[in-house]
Copies of this chain bind each other. A is one copy, B any other.
Amino acid sequence: MLKAKVYVTIKQSVLDPQGVAVQGALHSMGFGEVESARIGKYMELTLDTTDRAEAEARVKTMCEKLLANTVVEDYRFELEG
């Protein structure tokens, strides 16, 4: 059993309206030190396999095909266990 932790973030060159909204909300709540906020996704997948190398390749395919939109998003992942 392996656990994959997948992080999907919006590319630096792409506008992140959700992040801008969160930054604005934090400012109006008195957290003026927040210079920028970027919002991404964090996913935990439990994989019924013990083959680390194969899992690595398959999680990469999952990211490319479903979990991330690689036009505007970057992804990275870690395998644990």
Residue-wise interface mask of A (1-31) relative to B, using a CB-CB cutoff of 8 A (1 in contact, 0 not) = 1000001110000000001001001100101
Interface size on A, residues (CB 8 A): 34
Is A41's beta carbon under 8 Å from chain B?
Answer: yes
- When all copies of this chain in the complex are counted, the total is 2
Q: How far is the CB of A25 from chain B (nearest CB, A)?
A: 6
Is A79's beta carbon under 8 Å from chain B?
Answer: no
7 A-B pairs with least C-beta separation: A42-B42, A40-B42, A35-B46, A36-B46, A38-B44, A33-B48, A33-B49
Which residues of chain A have a CB within 8 Å of any CB of chain B?
1, 7-9, 19, 22, 25-26, 29, 31, 33-49, 55, 58, 61-62, 65-67
